[in-house]
A and B are shown apart, each in its own frame.
Chain A
Amino acid sequence: METVVQQLQGVPINHYLIFCAIIFAIGVIGVLIRRNVIIIMMSIELMLNAVNLLLAAFSVQHGDSSGQVFVFFIMALAAAEVAVGLAIIIMVYRNTKSVDIDSLNKLRW
């Protein structure tokens, strides 16, 4: 393990920032261009993961383990959110027989 770690001591923190920003942006694009609700939820998961990674990288840089504890909590939360979200999607499907987000347009004046 240590050798691997030592091998990677040279990665600047900026590059982690760039990488996570790209993954986050990809997640945002996924939310905006897909019509399937389930794929949108998956893109949201992608965004959460990008943030997790960044938090872990920062905690390693500062030597503060509260960053990784935070990641742990985010994961727990993401799990709960997915469970409830998918239950709602199933209910919506039962009522409208589609998972198209453009058909859920009753949230207006």
Chain B
Amino acid sequence: MTVFYFVAFLSIFFALMTIFTKNPVHSVLYLVITFFTFTVHYILLNAQFLAVVNFIVYMGAIMVLFLFVLMLLNLNKDTEPMKSNLVKFMGVIAGCCLLVTFFGVYRVFDISNPLTVVNPEIGLVKNLGKVLFNEFLLPFELSSLLLLTAMIGAILLAKKEPKQI
């Protein structure tokens, strides 16, 4: 149990570091570590498939993509624009208001059930695969179509215009 709280604390700390550092590359790296702590959380829930997919897709692909773009645009601490203090203050307040709203709406401070693992099997790849391909076959196929579209879109958008001489 204490593992959960420790890992949760780590997640929160590194998330805060993500948004408060000035250097964007540092920001990306902190986010990578945050995602790692999320992976640990998934493992704690016995959602093994999700943990692995999180590790590979989020940390391995998406964050790397972010890093590539940062390097491509050659951004570092000096070129980083910052908002005025007033705006930052207002943003923080808005976020905290949102947090408090969540707490109020979801009634998080009532007494609730402890988390019990009813079926420890559901996080396994086999069972997840069975559910995925039986009930969620259509969304699965559609998401493959979505990825194809995104790929074509990304390539087309980022293509350089042919130079006219």
Contact = CB atoms under 8 A, between A and B. Distances in A.
A and B touch in the complex (CB under 8 A): yes
Contact of A49 (B35, B44, B153, B158): B35
Question: How big is the B interface, by class?
Answer: 35 or more
Contacts of A99: 73, 75
A99 B118 CA distance: 48
Contact of B50 (A21, A24, A56): A56
A87 B157 contact: yes
A41 B18 CA distance: 12
B82 A66 contact: no
Contact of A63 (B88, B122, B149): B122
Question: How big is the A interface, by class?
Answer: 35 or more
A56 B3 contact: no
B164 interface: no
Residue picked from B54, B58, B115, B131, most chain A C-beta under 10 Å: B115
A23 B11 contact: yes
B19 A8 contact: no
A42 B53 contact: no
Interface string A1-36: 110110111111111111101111111111011111
Given A5-B120, A53-B38, A63-B122, A28 B28 contact: no
Contact of B91 (A1, A32, A83, A91): A32
Nearest to B83: A35
A29 B91 contact: yes
Contacts of A33: 19, 83, 87-88, 91-92
Contact of A39 (B11, B19, B65): B19
Given A69-B131, A76-B143, 7 more contacts: A22-B99, A29-B92, A49-B54, A61-B115, A65-B123, A68-B49, A79-B62
